[in-house]
Chain A
Amino acid sequence: MLKRLFQRQNALPDQLLGVDQARYVVFDTELTGLDRKNDTIVSIGAIRMKGRQILLGETFYTLVNPQRDLTHDNVRIHHIVPSELVNQPLIQSALQPFLQFVGNDILVGHFVHIDIAMLENALRRKLPNRQVDTARYYDWLERNRRQFLGAPNTGPIDTVLFDIANKLNIALPGAHNALVDAYLTAQVWQRLLIDLPDFGMMRVKDLWE
């Protein structure tokens, strides 16, 4: 218990750091399915940010052997075929370099709770890192803009990653995998970071888990 607490303390970035100064690891996973109990990870992609700056050389990507059959639907979505995965590391050994890459940085993802749940399932422990969901923040900012800044109410807020990217005029790369999606998410977070201080999110401590 004490050790866990200690770890958690260590893993927290300076609470008073400005959101534009903090370090983030933006990541995405691809899964065999959405069932938390029975499904697992087939790939992880991540890219680091320092404040608004996306560090293009600091990326992480691994495929994972899920030790089970991939459904046809699945393969269609992420274009990873079973034969590619046979010689890949199993999830436990794939996670070590990922956790090393992440270090104490804040974890950012689009609907991040799904990826975190899958990671924590595999790790069989909670991740100590602070977490940020770009979908939730986008939705929140958009709501605030409508309510307080008179932005037009254009119906329900669309939080699909690609639609957000389109709306923010972010170029969509042709290919599509966990790393490319993480890069896309990073660019969304880059834009959100500009607006957050206007709505009172100045420091790391203001970001909700």
Chain B
Amino acid sequence: MIQQLTSDFLRKYSPYNLLTEAELTLAAQSAILDFYPNDTRIYTQENSKTEYLYVIQKGCVRMTVQNASGGEVMMDMRSEGETFGILSLLNLGNALMTVTSIEDTLCYLIPKSTVQTLLKNQHFSEYFLRGSPQRYLLRTLQEIRQQSPLQNNSDRLIFTIAVRHLVKRQLVWCLPDTSIRQAAQLMVQQKVGSIIVAQSTPSQPQNADQILGIVTNTDLRNKVVAVGYDATWPISSIMSTPVKTIDGDQLAFEALLRMINSSIHSLLVVDGNHGNDILGMVTQHDLILLQSNSPLIMSKQLRRDASVTDLAKTLNNAQQFIPLMVKEGVNPGSVGRVVAEINDQVLARLLSIAETELGPPPLPYCWVVLGSEGRKEQTFKTDQDNGLIYADPSDDAQADLATDYFTRFARRVIDALVQCGFPLCPGNYMAVNPRWCQPLSNWLSIYHTWINTPEPIDVMNATIFFDMRYAGGDASLLQALLADVLPRARRSGRFMGHLARLAVQNTPPLGFFRSFLLESNGPHKNEFDLKKRGVMPLTDAIRLYAIAHGIQATNTLERLDDLRKANVLPNEQIDEMKDTLEFLALLRLKHQVEQSTRGEKPNNFINPNELSSIERTTLREAFQVIANTQADLSDRYRGFMGAAI
């Protein structure tokens, strides 16, 4: 009975589906079930002897390799149904990699002696030994050990390339007694965001010992412009010391991590093997560029997948990458965009699968996504929020045809999305709800009702529907909708007043003397809700500004960029809101990653005592920005907000 359960599981996956019944029985009879809680080292490169082939029954592991300079390079992740450990077994049981569980993980362990028997099956052994991912891995492994940069694997580049290969920039530097103005001019000339201060005459500094400090745009802004340092003073009076360095042999993602951890944008790259000789500078921008390719790799696979089942699988693989990106310090804004990009690809495939199954649509349609998905701000898989707009039918017969077709169509797509792991929306904001699957003219009248006779519940609705983004089909339908409703919305003082009330209703938890106001009882005593009291009020405020100025973008950062271009708010206010958003997002993700590492369910409740003092100070600043923004909104919409109450 138990053997049956084991062999039934194995049979579902390659290469175990290539085994004969007798071989499968042998595997099942000798197998062991072992459990590794999240973050357990299953074996360690070079230090462990491995005795088994591991097949993951449930969970996920990360495989890393140590490179010559002692850093860990991520090679691969494996999840349900996948195998690891064959190379180490073949290497006389000396572990070639380090394998760590990154979720609670159950594995079937197949002992070495059984594996030796199974390898006599030619299909089975060929899977492992020829043209398999393992072979590719073995090659990559050697390359990493030799520290050679991989030119083609751009998706893994950040995990495999050494920082020294990224140094492009000529060092821009000046002497400590250079005046602030001269240094700033040099920065402008060279188009750089920072300048190195070094004691070195007359030639350019060669060694880290000669470096005294660094001055960045932020220093110029904070110390010269804001505080009023005289521009004739020596640059050394405003430089930051010491300059953070990184060994050229370290990996790109370690550099990124270091920058994010110490909130800096550039690192001095030195050659540790040659007495810290200077190699150059590397900036966050250089590193982000490296990463931009990875979603493309995934989307290539998504485009190849033919069935919903295949899509679900690829998506699942892609999703496992997300917490890792967060953990390894990728900017939360880009995480959201990567997720949106992948989800959009999946949706595009699902729409075309549904069209193939049901035949061509009777009228053009546009599939839209709403809420956080519309804003491209989700990180983990969240509820579906979507709708369908179709062109107005010309007669009753066509109307009936369209209702029938799009009802079935929406049902298909929603079911497939569920199959891909997107839960149904509890509020029923989905295209299967007849209210959210309508011809354009009906959509228009729904919006008109919201705008003209706003009820509080309608305004709640409206916020997610004003974060509506094109996701597939005929984009001109959404364009037509927005072109009509955005100008109407901004002209309706009552509606804008309602939006403003919503945006100021949750204030940041900041007391009179700028102390944090915490929950005084309940399960979150001594904590505050970062999402409700921080991220959402700011998101709501920025949406309001965007609608007020006819901006169509839905992503909050893009809305800010467009507001900047429209020149309708002071630049400083936009900078502040942008910094605040990024800081809050980073803090929230960091908190949630820590929680999931501890095996807790991620939430938004933060205890300020668990923050570092820098984080606390910054958070106070961030809350102050939100409070100022809310005060600004109250001023602007005072007349209308009163009327609404």
Question: Which residues of A are in contact with B by a Cβ distance under 8 Å?
Answer: 47, 52-57, 59, 61, 152, 169, 171, 173, 175, 177, 179-180, 183, 187, 190-191, 194
| Chain A residues closer than 8 Å to B104, beta-carbon distance | 169
Contact B1 A194, beta carbon cutoff 8 Å: no
Contact A57 B3, beta carbon cutoff 8 Å: yes
Q: Per a CB cutoff under 8 Å, which of B30, B32, B37 touches A53?
A: B32
Whether B87 sits at the interface, judged by CB under 8 Å, is: no
Contact B1 A57, beta carbon cutoff 8 Å: no
Q: Closest approach, in angstroms, between the C-beta of B249 and any C-beta of chain A? A: 37
25 contacts between A and B (CB under 8 A): A47-B2, A52-B34, A53-B33, A53-B109, A54-B34, A55-B32, A56-B2, A56-B28, A56-B29, A56-B31, A57-B28, A57-B29, A57-B30, A59-B2, A59-B3, A152-B523, A169-B58, A169-B104, A171-B58, A179-B1, A180-B2, A183-B2, A190-B35, A194-B35, A194-B37
Which residues 1-60 of B have a CB within 8 angstroms of A?
Answer: 1-3, 5-6, 28-35, 37, 58
Contact B32 A177, beta carbon cutoff 8 Å: no
In the bound assembly, the distance between CA atoms of A194 and B3 in angstroms comes to: 25
DSSP class of A's interface residues: helix, strand, loop or mixed?
A: mixed
Contact A61 B33, beta carbon cutoff 8 Å: no
Q: Per a CB cutoff under 8 Å, which of B6, B33, B523 touches A187?
A: B33
Query: 6 closest pairs, A vs B, by CB?
Result: A57-B29, A54-B33, A53-B32, A56-B31, A190-B35, A53-B34
Contact A175 B1, beta carbon cutoff 8 Å: yes
Q: Per a CB cutoff under 8 Å, which of A53, A152, A169, A177 touches B1?
A: A177
| Chain B residues closer than 8 Å to A173, beta-carbon distance | 5
Q: Per a CB cutoff under 8 Å, which of A57, A180, A191 touches B31?
A: A57
Q: State which size class the interface on B falls in.
A: 10 to 19
| Chain A residues closer than 8 Å to B37, beta-carbon distance | 194
Residue among B2, B5, B29, B37 with most chain A CB within 10 A:
B2
| Chain A residues closer than 8 Å to B34, beta-carbon distance | 52-54, 190
Q: Closest approach, in angstroms, between the C-beta of B520 and any C-beta of chain A? A: 18
Contact B2 A191, beta carbon cutoff 8 Å: no
Residue on A nearest B108 in the bound complex, by CB: A56
| Chain B residues closer than 8 Å to A187, beta-carbon distance | 33, 35
Contact B523 A56, beta carbon cutoff 8 Å: no
Q: Closest approach, in angstroms, between the C-beta of A191 and any C-beta of chain B? A: 6
Contact A56 B33, beta carbon cutoff 8 Å: yes
Residue among A56, A152, A187 with most chain B CB within 10 A:
A56
Contact A52 B35, beta carbon cutoff 8 Å: yes
In the bound assembly, the distance between CA atoms of A106 and B104 in angstroms comes to: 26
| Chain A residues closer than 8 Å to B30, beta-carbon distance | 57
Residue on B nearest A179 in the bound complex, by CB: B1
Contact A61 B6, beta carbon cutoff 8 Å: no
| Chain A residues closer than 8 Å to B29, beta-carbon distance | 56-57
Residue on A nearest B52 in the bound complex, by CB: A53
> Told that A55-B32, A57-B31, A59-B2 touch, could you supply 9 new A-B pairs with CB distance under 8 A?
A47-B2, A53-B109, A56-B29, A57-B30, A59-B3, A61-B1, A180-B1, A190-B33, A194-B37
In the bound assembly, the distance between CA atoms of A190 and B523 in angstroms comes to: 31
Q: Closest approach, in angstroms, between the C-beta of B56 and any C-beta of chain A? A: 13
Q: Closest approach, in angstroms, between the C-beta of B291 and any C-beta of chain A? A: 32
Q: Closest approach, in angstroms, between the C-beta of A30 and any C-beta of chain B? A: 14
| Chain A residues closer than 8 Å to B28, beta-carbon distance | 56-57
| Chain A residues closer than 8 Å to B1, beta-carbon distance | 59, 61, 175, 177, 179-180
Residue on A nearest B40 in the bound complex, by CB: A194
Residue-wise, chain B 85-103 has the 8 Å CB interface mask toward A (1 for contact) of 0000000000000000000
Residue among A55, A61, A152, A179 with most chain B CB within 10 A:
A55
Q: Closest approach, in angstroms, between the C-beta of A152 and any C-beta of chain B? A: 7
Q: Closest approach, in angstroms, between the C-beta of A62 and any C-beta of chain B? A: 12
| Chain B residues closer than 8 Å to A169, beta-carbon distance | 58, 104
Q: Closest approach, in angstroms, between the C-beta of B177 and any C-beta of chain A? A: 57
Q: Per a CB cutoff under 8 Å, which of B6, B35, B58 touches A56?
A: B6
In the bound assembly, the distance between CA atoms of A56 and B29 in angstroms comes to: 6
